[in-house]
Structure 1
Amino acid sequence: MENKLINNFVQQLKNNNEGSSWLDENFSKKMENVNEENAFIRPLPEIRSVAELAAHILIWRIEGIKKLQGVKSYVTMDSPENWRTNEELKIIGWKKLKANLLESQTELVNLLADKTDAYLEENDYVPGYSYKYLVEGLIHHDIYHLGQIGITLKLLNHKQQS
């Protein structure tokens, strides 16, 4: 069996992290100039910081990984972990948060690399939703928030130049 779909998902995840894509953007590239000083800054009160966005991506990746492993997960949109405050995240630190984000990507890629296309059609985590739906959602979620990180950084850079 060729497993074209699973291989495509794995490649998309790798590209989103540090590969190339038609977007010419990835997490590694976007975050190379993020540091302890600028990671926790909201450029505007209603715009999340890079750290807040990274932690949000991380919690949903962790939840996705649990679901793919058949482990029950309990995080919801209303859970406090969904959007942690900059004060909470400063305790963790940007370096650790960034490392955890990159590690979660590696864990997700490694988990999927051993699966088949048939696995993607299973739906053990929520009736009516396949693992394919979950993986596609994780990829879309990453790309969406990668764009938000880009906007946050652009606003921060504009603010510094003003």
Structure 2
Amino acid sequence: MNKELQLIKQQLTDTYDGDPWYGRSLASILNEVATKHAWAVKVNNNHNNTVLLYHIINWRLFTISRFEKDALTTTAHFEENNFPSFPQPTESVWRNGMQSLTLTQQHLLDKINKTTDEILDKKVPGREYNFRTLLNGIVQHDIYHIGQIMVSLK
């Protein structure tokens, strides 16, 4: 029946573009980010919202890749691309990131749909934790960065 995966999938959906219990979804907030907020405003004097957007995408790609048994991409690749830099801030970089986020959301949900709850106790390739920790972590990761992005919009 995959009850636990269905719960995780619902949390991913609510967090991404649903009606989460804590407030607004990631997509609704990111759609509000104007170019000024995407590049100029640094969250905690560190990363701007564009970097955070691509950081979120990176760890979704990592999660998707761990479902693929013959994944060619090492975990080091994702660690190296953790917080990417962009030489030229452009609106197309933001737009491409938003499209990529949408695609990775759908791809992640597709991966979850094609598996069973039994995967949750299996160790994530290249890590010391299981898929339960990874999938719940990606939800928590999104919520954490939603908060950072909201601060930048004030």
Normalising by the smaller structure, the TM-score range is: 0.7 to 0.9
Bigger drift between 127-136 and 139-148 goes to 127-136
Matched with 1:75 is 77
RMSD: 2.2
Matched with 2:35 is 36
How far off is 1:139 after superposition? Answer: 1.3
Matched with 2:20 is 21
* Alignment CA distance shift 1:89-1:135 (3 Å): farther
Q: Once the two structures are aligned, what percentage of the paired residues are identical? A: 24
CA distance in 2, matches of 1:64, 1:88: 28
Task: Kindly provide the amino acid, as one letter, of the partner of residue 14 in structure 2.
Answer: N
Asked if the contact 2:41–2:48 (Cα under 8 Å) also holds between the matched residues in 1, the reply is: yes
* Alignment CA distance shift 1:76-1:32 (3 Å): closer
3-state SS of 1:39 partner:
helix
Task: Kindly provide the amino acid, as one letter, of the partner of residue 55 in structure 1.
Answer: Y
1:88-110 CA distance string (max 9 Å, x none): 66485111111111211111011
Contiguous gaps of at least 5 residues in structure 2: none
**TM-score if structure 2 supplies the norm length?**
0.86
